[in-house]
Amino acid sequence: MTEPLLEARNIYKRFGGVHALENVTFRLDAGEVVALAGDNGAGKSTLIKIISGVFPPDEGELRYQGEPVALGNPQDARRRGIETIYQDLALADNLDVGANIFLGREPMRRVFGVPVMDRRRMRAEAAHALEALDIGLDRLDRPVRALSGGQRQCIAIGRAIHWNARVLIMDEPTAALGVPEQRRVIALIRSLKLSGVGVIFISHNLADIFDVSDRIVVLRRGVNVGERPTREANADEIVRLMVGG
């Protein structure tokens, strides 16, 4: 068995008396899409917060690209290529697509020795980055406010990939979107998979889960109660695992 891209071993996390995670083990391979399923309060968000550096586990080990890692904070995780897309918090609405993709890392050029921001390059590279992911946008020079929720989601994902994210974590990526927009995001997840990115996504939508994931991991009350390759799973079984009994 090859070394997984990311692995969480025997993770425990308590909040006061609540055991949010109990001895949870989780792995993700490169180019794999794992759906994290479970009822409210099952511990899904807690698990991805540990993986994305929001807080450390009480016990257990996190391994990334074959090495144990301690993630001090989300910036730390992002620097290593573990990127989390939060619903609608990722983009500055008033800036255009290029400015958003380069936010915090703007390229500069010199005009008569004076440094100025290289907007032309930001826009051109943004165009290439989005094209490579087959994200179609007819204009890149407008504030992203003018774009739809799905397009914005795609740009946030495109930015993460452009900056070399190897693991992409999405909490309910399609929840706030209309059906055509959901398709767009699902299609994007498929193309990420082809380029070797590992994707973890939380969803309540079984259709999405079965549509795009390779493996389904079910949490219940902080425990990993079952994992199935999506090909071999059926919806009834997953629901039974989620609710117990």
Per CB under 6 A, 86 contacts ligand ADP: no
3-state helix, strand, coil in the chain (%, to 5): 35, 30, 35
Tokens describing residue 213: 């994931």
Closer residue to ligand ADP in complex, CB, 26/102? 26
Tokens describing residue 241: 């695992």
Burial of 46 (0-12, 13-18, 19+ CB in 10 A): buried
8 Å CB contact between 13 and 56: no
- Total site size for ligand ADP, rule CB under 6 A: 11
Which of the listed partners (other proteins, ligand ADP, Mg ion, none) does 20 bind, with a CB threshold of 5 to 8 Å by partner kind?
Answer: ligand ADP
Closer residue to ligand ADP in complex, CB, 2/40? 40
Nearest to 101 by CA among 74, 72, 76, 132: 132
Q: Mask: binding to ligand ADP, 6-25, rule CB under 6 A, as x and -? A: ---------x--x-x-----
8 Å CB contact between 108 and 118: yes
Q: Mask: binding to Mg ion, 36-55, rule CB under 5 A, as x and -? A: ---------x----------
Quick one: which segment of 41-49, 96-104, 114-122, 148-156 binds ligand ADP (CB under 6 A)? 41-49
Give whole-number Cα distances, 75 to 41, 42, 53, in Å: 26, 26, 8
Closer residue to other proteins in complex, CB, 113/245? 113
Closer residue to ligand ADP in complex, CB, 45/148? 45
Q: Which residues make up the interface to ligand ADP (CB under 6 A)? A: 15, 18, 20, 38, 40-46
